[in-house]
Amino acid sequence: MVSYRYTGLGEPQWSSARVSVRASGGEIVESAASDVHSSMWDKAEPWRTFRWHRGQKHYSGCYWSTTESGFVVYESRLELAHLVRADFDPSVRRIVAQPFLVQIALDSKCRRHVPDYLLFTGDGLVIVDVKPRELLEKPKIAYTLAWMRDVGARMGCSFEVQSEPPAMERLNLRFVAGFRRSESVSAQVLEELRGCNLDGLTIGQAVSCVQHPPPRVRAALLHMVWRHELLIDLGRPMTSQTLITRVAP
């Protein structure tokens, strides 16, 4: 195995870093990494197209995001899990998939990397790379993530590497996400539930608070969970005995 040892970005190496963004219509916008500005992301499109081939191990697709009010692409089930988490996070205001290509001259070679997501949060921009935990110690991957972290810092962005989330949280959040779209939930049931004191009740008790078919009420309750009007423990199995906490307006 080739060993990649990263010693940090010196000034000559950093000055070579360039960022390329694919704008709508296919236009490529390029900038020195030190000169990146927020307007570059306004019409950013995913850098790569979907990859489909016989025997591939990853499954690409599109996820309808409430944050974006539109579709966001993913290239693996692990990326999808973190995309759903970002969509659920109230601090995330925008999600851009495969936001840019970074190129930098490093250790006598031109290095290239496309991060998985760029998140716009209340605390600033966050570059996200999604990697299975078992791959993080591989020298080439660790090397790439290390220099990408440095480039991100020079761009004024935080950098996160995200691996497998807790299994129960992932399953529960995927289930709750199925009720994220308001048009699939009864507005009348929502209005009545919002008028009830649900704090401290179980899901089963909350379903009995209004006179509507239980499936419609459960859908509305889970929509309220998605909107952070109600809190439940997503780290535990979700049942009719799951406790609800009402979030203060």
Q: Which pLDDT value is given to residue 15?
A: 83
Gap between the Cα atoms of 162 and 12, Å rounded: 30
Looking at the structure, tell me whether residues 101 and 222 fall in a common domain. Answer: no
Which residue, chain included where needed, has tokens 């605390």? 123
Report helix, strand or coil for 163: coil
**pLDDT, tens digit, for every residue of 96-152?**
999 999 999 988 889 999 999 999 999 999 999 999 999 999 999 999 999 999 999
Residue 5 has pLDDT above 70, yes or no: no
Report yes or no on 145 lying in a domain.
yes
Tokens of 143: 């090397």
Residue 87 has pLDDT above 50, yes or no: yes
Element containing residue 22 per DSSP (H, E): strand 18-23
Element containing residue 218 per DSSP (H, E): helix 214-226
Domain that holds residue 197: 167-246
Length of the chain: 249
Please tell me which residue, 200 or 26, carries the higher pLDDT value.
200
Tokens of 243: 């406790």
How many domains is the chain partitioned into structurally? Answer: 2
Looking at the structure, tell me whether residues 104 and 141 fall in a common domain. Answer: yes
Gap between the Cα atoms of 197 and 68, Å rounded: 31
- The residue from 162, 192, 227 where one domain ends is 162
Report yes or no on 132 lying in a domain.
yes
